[in-house]
């Protein structure tokens, strides 16, 4: 069975190599929590310092191209092209750029005035945070004004005002918004705290809003977001990691389990019996449910080193408070069978 375990390790490692974009080859993806946050921060901070707000205007015609109509751009917060009201348009001709009614312009999803300190006014020569294209989307001019600098809040259906002066981005766009705000917080730190751009409860002891973690799960990545990431890696020099793999948010901040687009730590079904380990990621205590009676558990790091072992009697939980933050494999065993699960410790 030891050979089987190291087959799992080999499988895990191979998926890590081919499942992710080459952009992340020098990023240590075995880290968790704040360690992974800072690792990604260092990576995405390596971007163009000369890219301008004017460049963003031209770039959006490519990055925000309607995936169903190459003559158009998609408009963030938009939802209806047939109601006779151009403010709600979801798609519009690339040629209709400007500041007048029924034209599209550039929307800073993390509003410039909400940053601390504010991003300030912008013109076509502006560089830096105000020109970061990962925070800029094409938007109907009036819809952009309607949203203004309102904070994001929970809602449902189409984009619009909710609560006391807040904004819901719409069911189609809430995941896009969450991943953009995660990028801004990761790249610019406390200057773009999620609490500056949204309202709601915080996730644990972190500065991430539960709302954005939920949106990241409820509205999965679309080909449109992938299109933007591919373009800006070349045009700007970095990518939004939370588009490439929403599960990175789970590893850093916890909360509901997001899609793991890389299958970084997947284990083939033939190696796994039916059981559940939760919460995962965890901090101090994990629980497990299984239809099989196991006699003991062993926790290994990703290099196969045994970290902890103990006999199981009638326990349904395991104390992991002494484990360092990181990613592990936990093996449950009896005389008849063994099962493995990944374990993320925050």
Specify whether 196 is located in the same domain as 122.
yes
Specify whether 247 is located in the same domain as 280.
no
Specify whether 316 is located in the same domain as 237.
no
Residue 176: how many CB atoms within 10 A of its CB?
26
Statement: residue 10 has pLDDT above 60: no
Q: Is residue 170 part of a domain?
A: yes
Specify whether 145 is located in the same domain as 65.
yes
How many angstroms from the chain centroid is the CA of residue 132? 17
> HSE (CB half, 13 Å, CA atoms) of 211?
21
Specify whether 37 is located in the same domain as 105.
yes
Q: Is residue 46 part of a domain?
A: yes
Tens-digit pLDDT profile for residues 81-136: 999 999 999 999 999 999 999 999 999 999 999 999 999 999 999 999 999 999 99
Banded model confidence at residue 11, pLDDT cuts 50, 70, 90:
very low
Q: Is residue 139 part of a domain?
A: yes
Q: Is residue 337 part of a domain?
A: yes
Closest C-alpha among 144, 146, 163 to residue 155: 163
Single residue among 187, 218, 253 that ends a domain in this structure? 253
Alpha-carbon torsion 103, 108, 109, 114, what sign?
negative
Q: Is residue 258 part of a domain?
A: no
Closest C-alpha among 228, 253, 250 to residue 239: 228
Q: Is residue 222 part of a domain?
A: yes
CA distance 315 to 75: 53
Specify whether 194 is located in the same domain as 275.
no
Output the pLDDT for position 73.
Answer: 98
Specify whether 234 is located in the same domain as 268.
no
Mean pLDDT confidence for 279-289: 86
For the chain, give the mean pLDDT.
89
Statement: residue 196 has pLDDT above 60: yes
Q: Is residue 68 part of a domain?
A: yes
Specify whether 69 is located in the same domain as 157.
yes
**Using CB atoms within 10 A of its CB, is residue 325 exposed (0-12), middle (13-18) or buried (19+)?**
middle
Single residue among 219, 253, 287 that ends a domain in this structure? 253
Instruction: Give the start-end residues of each E strand in 259-315.
Output: 275-278, 285-290, 296-301, 306-311
Domain range for residue 178? 21-253
Banded model confidence at residue 80, pLDDT cuts 50, 70, 90:
very high
Specify whether 106 is located in the same domain as 194.
yes
Residue 328: DSSP 8-state:
E
Nearby residues of 34 by Cβ (< 8 Å), 6 or more positions away = 252
> Residue 330 in 3-state DSSP?
strand
Tens-digit pLDDT profile for residues 231-278: 999 999 999 999 999 999 998 998 888 999 988 655 443 344 456 788
Tell me how long the chain is.
346
Q: Give me the number of domains the chain comprises.
A: 2
Specify whether 211 is located in the same domain as 62.
yes
Single residue among 253, 288, 318 that ends a domain in this structure? 253
Output the pLDDT for position 303.
Answer: 61
Residue 235: DSSP 8-state:
H
Q: What is the 3-state secondary structure (H, E, C) of 146-213?
A: HHCCCCECCCCCCCEEECCCEEECCCCCHHHHHHHHHHHHHHHHHHHCHHHHECCCECCCCCCEHHHH
Specify whether 171 is located in the same domain as 297.
no
């Amino acid at each position: 069975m030891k050979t089987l375990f190291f087959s799992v390790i080999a499988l895990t490692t191979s998926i890590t190599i081919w499942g992710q974009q080459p952009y992340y080859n020098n990023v240590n993806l075995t880290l968790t929590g704040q360690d992974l946050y800072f690792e990604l921060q260092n990576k995405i901070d390596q971007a163009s310092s000369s890219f301008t707000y004017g460049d963003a205007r031209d770039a959006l015609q490519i990055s925000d191209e309607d995936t169903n109509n190459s003559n158009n751009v998609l408009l963030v917060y938009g939802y209806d092209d047939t109601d006779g009201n151009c403010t709600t348009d979801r798609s519009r001709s690339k040629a209709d750029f400007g500041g007048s009614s029924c034209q599209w312009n550039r929307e800073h999803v993390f509003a410039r005035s909400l940053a601390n300190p504010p991003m300030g006014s912008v013109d076509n020569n502006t560089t830096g945070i105000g020109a970061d294209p990962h925070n800029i989307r094409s938007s109907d001019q009036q819809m952009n004004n309607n949203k203004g600098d309102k904070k994001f809040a929970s809602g449902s259906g189409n984009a619009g005002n909710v609560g006391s002066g807040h904004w819901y981005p719409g069911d189609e766009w809430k995941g896009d918004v969450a991943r953009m705000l995660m990028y801004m917080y990761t790249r610019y730190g406390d200057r773009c705290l999620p609490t500056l751009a949204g309202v709601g409860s915080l996730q644990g002891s972190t500065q991430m809003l539960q709302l954005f973690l939920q949106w990241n799960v409820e509205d999965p990545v679309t080909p449109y977001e992938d299109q933007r990431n591919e373009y800006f890696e070349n045009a700007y020099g970095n990518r939004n990691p939370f588009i490439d793999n929403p599960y990175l948010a789970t590893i850093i901040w916890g909360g509901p389990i997001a899609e793991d687009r890389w299958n970084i730590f997947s284990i083939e079904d033939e190696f796994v019996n039916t059981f559940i380990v939760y919460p995962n990621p965890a901090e101090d205590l994990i629980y497990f449910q299984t239809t099989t009676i196991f006699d003991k558990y062993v926790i290994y790091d990703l290099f196969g080193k045994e970290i902890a072992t103990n006999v199981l009697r009638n326990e349904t939980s395991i104390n992991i408070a002494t484990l360092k933050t990181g990613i592990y494999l936990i093996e449950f065993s009896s005389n008849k069978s063994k099962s493995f699960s990944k374990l993320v410790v925050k």
